[in-house]
Amino acid sequence: MLTTTERDFFHDQGYLLKPGLLTAARVAEMQSLIDEQLRQALGPATRRANDQVDLNPDGTPVAVYRLSRVMARHAAFQAVAMDPQIAMVARGLLGPDAAVCLNRHNMMIAKAPRVGRPIAWHQDGATWGHDELLALILFLSDAHPGNGCLEIMPGLHRRGILPSTNENGFACLDLKHPEVAPLAAQALPVVARAGDALFFHALLPHASKANSSEQARPTLTFAYISASRKALRFSTAMEPIQTLPLPA
């Protein structure tokens, strides 16, 4: 059950880490399914649309960076996104009509050893066309600064959409802007164990460094929204949000 203290902390700081939300058996199941999907994504003939692969200069694949639309790949991924404990937290933070999004997040980030790329500071809600979403990262291995763990800027979701810039087609925070430059000092690394779950507001700034270790740092990422508010988009550039209701 979500406590009042946890709810207040989330609304004030913009995130909530729930340790051990996935059992060791569930983590192992996800890892096994993902290993097979990663093998498929390395082959051009079996790679799915929107999957991202890091390539050598000659075009051969080095490692998979991202698997997209994971809920459509196997029923187990949808089941974990709609897990009763996850649904309970989502409803506690969003309201009783919380739903899981099909076309926001719904992905796996591989963060392969010695290859996993860095992700610049950004706010999901700034480019999703909706800033009232709840993001969830499920850690499938231990995460720490050495393997590129997530970093966040606690509390800054309350400032709204921050100034951004475009870097190679990616909308990221403009760290040279006078409003943004001092904020990087507030960065907090999210050290987590396999099975932990991080819920965070769509406007919470976050980033991650490259994985410089020999350990992969795979995560599943999903998004949730109040079904009654999903049509209240501030931008129509993105496709309308598609959702599935969470189990009662």
Domain boundaries, the chain: 4-245
The dihedral built from the CA positions of residue 154, 158, 160 and 162, taken in this order, carries a sign that is negative
Q: What is the pTM of this model?
A: 0.94
What's the CATH number for 4-245? Answer: 2.60.120.620
pLDDT tens per residue across span 115-158: 888 999 999 999 888 999 999 999 999 999 999 999 999 999 99
End-to-end CA distance of the chain: 14
d(CA 69, CA 137): 15
pLDDT tens per residue across span 5-39: 999 999 999 999 999 999 999 999 999 999 999 99
